[in-house]
Amino acid sequence: MLLLVWTPKAWHRLSPLKPPALLWTPGGEALHVRYRLMSRQGPGEASRQSQPQGPGFRTRLLITALFGAGLGGAWLAARAEKEQRRQQQRTEALRQAAVGQGDFSLLDHRGQARCKADFRGHWVLMYFGFTHCPDICPDELEKLVQVVQKLEAEPGLPPVQPIFITVDPERDTVAAMARYVQDFHPRLLGLTGSAEQVAQVSRSYRVYYSAGPKDDDQDYIVDHSIAIYLLSPDGLFTDYYGRAKSAQQIADSVRCHMAAFRSVLR
C-alpha cells in the first residue's frame, strides 16, 4: 500500500508529473512523484488574457511612421512650391531690369558670325572676361564648365551652351580665343569682335570693363564685372551668378529655371 503525503494545505489541484511530491512505501522508503500546479482561474479569464488588448507595437510604429512621412512630404511640397514662386518672382524682376535687350553681332573662335538669335531655343550660360586674365577668369570659366557637366550628366535635361565673350578685343583675336577655349570644354564658344561690337554687347548686359595701364612689356589687366549670365531658350536674360555661388548652387538654380520655364514667344 502507498501513502501520498503533501503540504501545505493551500496547494491547488494536483496533476501528476510536476513538481515532486513524496510517496511512502510500506517499507518506509520515500519515492518522488511529480505533479502540476493548476491555476484556479477559469477558462474565460485565461482566454481574455491571451487576446491582444489593442494594436501591437509594430502596428503602432507603422502608423506613426506613415503619419510622419505624410507630414514630411507635405512640408517638402510646400517648400518646393515656395521656392518656385520665389524663383519666378526673381525672374520677373530681372526681366524688368531690361538686361540683355537687343541683339549683338560678334565672331566666334572659328571666325563665324554670331548673333543672339543663333542661340534661341537653347539654354545659355555666358561669361565676360579676357584671355590674359591671371586667375579670376580661368576660375570662373572652370566653374561654368562644371555646371554644364553636372547638367549634362542628368538624363532628360536640355543641353546648355557655354559662351565666353571677351572684354579685351585688342588682344583677344579669333585665333587667341580658339587657343584659349580649347582648354576648358569642347562646346565652349568664344566670341570676340571689334571694340564697338564688344562695347555694345557689354552695355546690353550691364558689364563694366576698363583696361589698366600698360607695363614695359605692353601687358595690362582689364578690370571688369564678374558674373555668369543665364539666358532662357527665348534668348531672355533669366538669372546671374556671382563669384560666391558654387557650381552646385548654380546647377541647382538652372535646373529650377528649366522646370519652371514657359516660353513667352509662342
Q: Which phi and psi (to 5°) does residue 28 adopt? A: 85, 5
Amino acid in position 41: Q
According to the annotation, is 115 in a ligand binding site?
no
Residue 180: strand pairing partners: none
Name the one residue in this structure whose C-alpha cell is 501528476.
16
According to the annotation, is 224 in a ligand binding site?
yes
Distance CA 105, CA 193 (A): 8
Task: Evaluate whether 143 touches 129 at the Cβ level (below 8 Å).
Answer: no
The CA–CA distances, whole Å, from 155 to 145, 151, 186, 250, 259 equal: 18, 8, 20, 18, 14
* Range 146-159 burial, b when 16+ CB lie within 10 A, else e: bbbebbeeeeebee
Distance CA 98, CA 205 (A): 9
Contacts of 126 (CB under 8 A, 6+ apart): 162, 163, 164, 165, 205, 228, 229, 230, 231
Contacts of 13 (CB under 8 A, 6+ apart): 38
Binding residues for Cu cation: 133, 137, 224
Binding residues: 133, 137, 224
